[in-house]
């Protein structure tokens, strides 16, 4: 085994260098993934994923209660495209402005980490409405 490496070294130092480099990459990847795992488990206590189905031109459930930091996933089950739009015209300079997700085709989904509650609707079919409510933990 040593002889073989020696042979490689003598015949082509570049190859050996590459071998060492690749081996060191594996070492670092290994250590990093372990570190990430322990980090995740310690610092992120209770994040939940909530699913909202878009079907028959309705958001189901229409109203959903979540904690700040939870993830909401909308999944389109309809044949028609839908999106998630919300008005952001709280100040006069933003009047009429909206924030809109990409249009979701059938089976496509859209994810959002919730920082605050809001009312939303489908920008393509404004009669479809929904509401994200922040849970009161007190």
Partner 1 sequence: MSILLIQKNNNKNSNAFGSKFNQFTLKMRSLTFSVFTMVVLSSCANAGNSGDSQLTDANIAAIVVGANNIDISAGKIALARSSNPEVRKFAQTMITDHTAVLNSAVALVTRLGVTPVNNELVAVLSKQSSEHEAVLKTLSGAEFDKAYIDHEVAYHKAVIGVIENQLIPGASNKELKDTLISVLPAFIAHLKHCEMIQSNL
40 in contact with partner 1 (CB under 8 A): no
Rounded to a whole number of angstroms, the minimum distance from the CB of residue 20 to partner 1 is: 57
Stretch that binds partner 1, among 15-23, 31-39, 54-62, 63-71 (CB under 8 A): 54-62
| Footprint of partner 1 on 103-132 (CB under 8 A) | 123-128
Rounded to a whole number of angstroms, the minimum distance from the CB of residue 130 to partner 1 is: 14
80 in contact with partner 1 (CB under 8 A): yes
81 in contact with partner 1 (CB under 8 A): yes
54 in contact with partner 1 (CB under 8 A): no
- Identify which of residues 70 and 121 has a Cβ nearer to partner 1 in the complex: 121
**What is the SS3 assignment for the chain?**
CHHHHHHHHHHCHHHHHHHHHHHHHHHHHHHHHHHHHHHHHHHCCCCCEEEEEEECCEEECCEEEECCCCEEEEEECCCCCECCEEECCCCHHHCCCEEECCCECCCCEEEEECCCCEEEECCCCCCCEEEEEECCCC
75 in contact with partner 1 (CB under 8 A): no
| Residue from the set 58, 65, 112, 118 that interacts with partner 1 by CB under 8 A | 58
Please classify residue 122 by burial: count the beta carbons closer than 10 Å to its beta carbon, then call 0-12 exposed, 13-18 middle and 19+ buried. buried
What does the block give as tokens for 130? 């929904």
**Given the rule CB under 8 A, which residues bind partner 1?**
56-58, 78-81, 123-128
């Amino acid at each position: 085994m040593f002889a073989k490496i020696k042979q490689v070294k003598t015949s082509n130092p570049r190859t050996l260098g590459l071998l060492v480099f690749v081996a060191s990459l594996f070492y670092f990847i290994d250590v990093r993934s372990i570190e990430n795992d322990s980090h995740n488990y310690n610092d992120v206590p209770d994040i939940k994923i909530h699913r909202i189905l878009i079907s028959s031109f309705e958001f189901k459930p229409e109203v959903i209660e979540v904690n700040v930091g939870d993830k909401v996933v909308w999944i389109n089950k309809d044949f028609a495209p839908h999106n998630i739009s919300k008005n952001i015209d709280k100040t006069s300079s933003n009047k009429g402005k909206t924030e809109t997700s990409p249009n979701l085709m059938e089976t496509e989904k859209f994810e959002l980490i919730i920082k605050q509650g809001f009312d939303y609707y489908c920008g393509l079919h404004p009669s479809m409405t929904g509401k994200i409510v922040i849970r009161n933990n007190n």
